[in-house]
A and B are shown apart, each in its own frame.
Chain A
C-alpha cells in the first residue's frame, strides 16, 4: 500500500496547506517539503531493490474505479525499472527544488499558495509515472496541466503571466485532444487500457499495422503538447513567466519530460508501429531540436535561453524514441533532469541576485557568486555534452541510435549539438565573465539555495556514468530489462568523436564571438541584423499563431459563438420566454379589477358552467 501513499501524501499536503495552514507560511513550506522528502524515502528502497534485481516482475496493483455497461476503468499503479527511474527523478529533483524554493520565494506574496501548487504538481506527476493504464495517465496528464497552469500564472496580477498560463493550458489542450483520440483508437482495437495487457496483445500481432500507426501518431500528439514539440512548442518559452523553481521542476526536469516518459511507457506500441509513423516522430523531434537551438541563439533572457535549450533537449529525446532508442531517450531524460534543473536553479540564483533576466545586464558575476557560477558551469558542460560529463554519455547514445537509423537525423543531431555549444558558451561568457554590466551589488544566494545547486551539480557531472558501456547492469539494460526488449548500445567512437568535435567547434566560435571587450549587445545582432531579428522573433511562429490562428480562426469561432449566445440564446430564447410571460401577465392583470361583484360574477358563472357540464354528462 505504500505505493498509494506516494499519491496520498502530496495530495494531503496540498489540501492541508490550502485549507488549514495557508496563513502560516513557514509551516506550509515545511509540510510541502516534508511530503516530497517522505515520497523520496518511499521510492528509494524500491530503487535499490530494483537495481539489485533488474529482471524482477513489474509490481502492479489496481482497483476498479468506474464500471458501466461494457466499460471498466481501473486505477492502478505499476512499478518497474522505467517508472522507478522516473519516480526517483521526480522525488529527488523535486525535493531539492522544494528546498531551494524556500530561499528563492522568500518574502513573496502567496508563498503558501506556491507550495500548495507544488505539492499538487508532485501528486499529479507521480500519478502519471505510476499509472498502469491509459485512462489514469490521461487523468493525471490533465492534472499536471492544471498544476502547471496555476504555477505559470503564479504572478497572475501580471498580464503576461496570466496570458502565458492560459496559452500553456490551451496549447496543451490541442495535443491532448489527439492523445485521447489515440487512446480510443487503441481501446477500440484491443478492448483494454492496461499497458501490460496492451503490450501482450500488440506483441501477439493481433492489431493491424495501420491502426497501430494511427494510434501511435495520435498518442504522440499528447507528447507533442506536453513535451512542447513543433508545432505546439510555443507555450514552453512563455511558461518562463512562472517563478524560476517552477521552470526548473515542471518546465525542465519533470512535466515536459512526461511526454517522453509516456512514449517510453507505450514503447510496446512504438516498437510495433510502422516505419512511417516512427520516422514522423523522429523528424518532428529532430526538427524541434534544431529549431529550438537556433532560437536560443536569438534570445537574451537567461530563462528563455535555457527554456529553448530544454525544447531542444526534448526534441532530442523524442527523436531518440522515434529512431527506436527508447532507453537512450530515457537516459537523456534522466541526465537532462539533473543538469537542466541545475541550470534553471542557477539562473534563478543569478536572477535573485541581479533582479533582472536580461543577460546583457549581468556580466562578470563569477567573482561575486562563485558557487552559482561553478555549478552553472558544470551544468553547462553537461548540457553541451563534454566528456566525461553526464550529457556526453546520454547524448552520445541518442546520436548513435540516430546514426544507425537515419544519416540525416544524425547530421541534424550533430548540428544541434554545435549550436547548443555555441549558445551555452555565449550564455556563460555574457553572464559570468566579460564586462561588468550589472547594477547594484549582487551577492551569493543563501545556503538553502546553493546546497541544492551543489547536490545537483554532482549528479549533473556523474549521472552519465550510469550509462557507461560495459557496465552491468547499466542504464540501458536496466530499462530494457523491465520491458523484454533490449536497450542494446555499443559505444561508437566515430559518433563520439564527431559530436565532441562539433561541441568544441561551437565553444571555439562562441568564445571568438562573445569574449570581446566592450560588448553591450549581441554581436550576431550587429553582424547579421536580419537573420538575428528572425531568431529573436522566434521564426514568427507566435506571430503567425496570434495573427492567423487566434485572430482569424479563433476570433471567428468566438464571433459565431457570441452571435449564438447573444442573439439566439439570450435574446430569443431567454428574453422571449420573459416577454411572453410578461405579456400574459399584463393581460391577466386586467381581470383583477378590484370590483367585488366582478369576482362574484365569475364565481357564479363558474358554478353555472359546472352545472351545465354536470347535467350534460
Chain B
C-alpha cells in the first residue's frame, strides 16, 4: 500500500538531490536542472497532500507551479545564453562579479 509517507520520502529524496546539485555542480545548466528537481519534489508533496486530504487546493497549486516554472526556465535559459555569449563560460565559480 502506497501511503503519504512514501510520497513524502520520495519528495525528500528528490529535494535532497536537487539541493546537492545546486550546491555541488559547477555547470550552470546542471544547477538550473537541479532547481527544476527541487520544484518538482515540492509539486509531488503538494499533490500527495492534496490527495490525502481529499481537496483540490494542492493540485491547483501544482498546475500553477508548473506554469510558473516553465516561464522561469524560459527566462533563466535566455539569461544563460546571453551569459555564455558574453563570457564564453557557464561555470558558476567564474560568474562572481557581484561582490565587494
Instruction: Give residues in B with beta carbon < 8 Å to A.
Output: 19, 22-24, 31, 92-93, 95-100
Contact = CB atoms under 8 A, between A and B. Distances in A.
A589 B100 contact: yes
A593 interface: yes
B22 A593 contact: no
Contacts of B19: 604
A593 B94 CA distance: 11
Contact of B98 (A594, A597, A601, A604): A594
Nearest to B24: A597
Nearest to B31: A596
Contact of B99 (A593, A600, A601, A604): A593
A594 B92 contact: no
A601 B100 contact: no
Nearest to B95: A596
B65 to A, nearest CB: 19
Contacts of B93: 595, 597
B24 to A, nearest CB: 8
Contact of B23 (A592, A594, A604): A604
Given A595-B96, A600-B23, A601-B23, 12 more contacts: A593-B96, A594-B95, A594-B96, A594-B97, A594-B98, A595-B92, A595-B93, A596-B31, A596-B92, A597-B22, A597-B24, A604-B19
Given A601-B23, A604-B19, A592 B100 contact: yes
B96 A597 contact: no
A205 B22 CA distance: 95
A268 to B, nearest CB: 76
A594 B22 contact: no
A604 B23 CA distance: 9
26 contacts: A589-B100, A592-B99, A592-B100, A593-B96, A593-B99, A594-B95, A594-B96, A594-B97, A594-B98, A594-B99, A595-B92, A595-B93, A595-B96, A596-B31, A596-B92, A596-B95, A597-B22, A597-B23, A597-B24, A597-B92, A597-B93, A600-B22, A600-B23, A601-B23, A604-B19, A604-B23
A593 B97 CA distance: 9
Nearest to A593: B99
A591 to B, nearest CB: 10
A596 B98 CA distance: 9
Contacts of B23: 597, 600-601, 604
A594 B31 CA distance: 16
Contacts of B96: 593-595
Contacts of B95: 594, 596
A588 to B, nearest CB: 10
Contacts of A592: 99-100
A295 to B, nearest CB: 72
B14 to A, nearest CB: 15
Contacts of B99: 592-594
Contacts of A593: 96, 99
A600 B92 CA distance: 12
Interface in A559-608: 589, 592-597, 600-601, 604
Interface in A149-169: none
A595 B31 CA distance: 13
A378 B79 CA distance: 101
B85 to A, nearest CB: 19
A209 B72 CA distance: 93
Contacts of A595: 92-93, 96
Contacts of B22: 597, 600
Contacts of A600: 22-23
Nearest to A588: B100
A609 to B, nearest CB: 15
A597 B19 CA distance: 10
A607 to B, nearest CB: 9
Contacts of A594: 95-99
A598 to B, nearest CB: 9
Closest 10 CB pairs of A and B: A594-B99, A594-B96, A589-B100, A592-B99, A596-B92, A594-B98, A592-B100, A595-B96, A600-B22, A597-B23
Contacts of A597: 22-24, 92-93
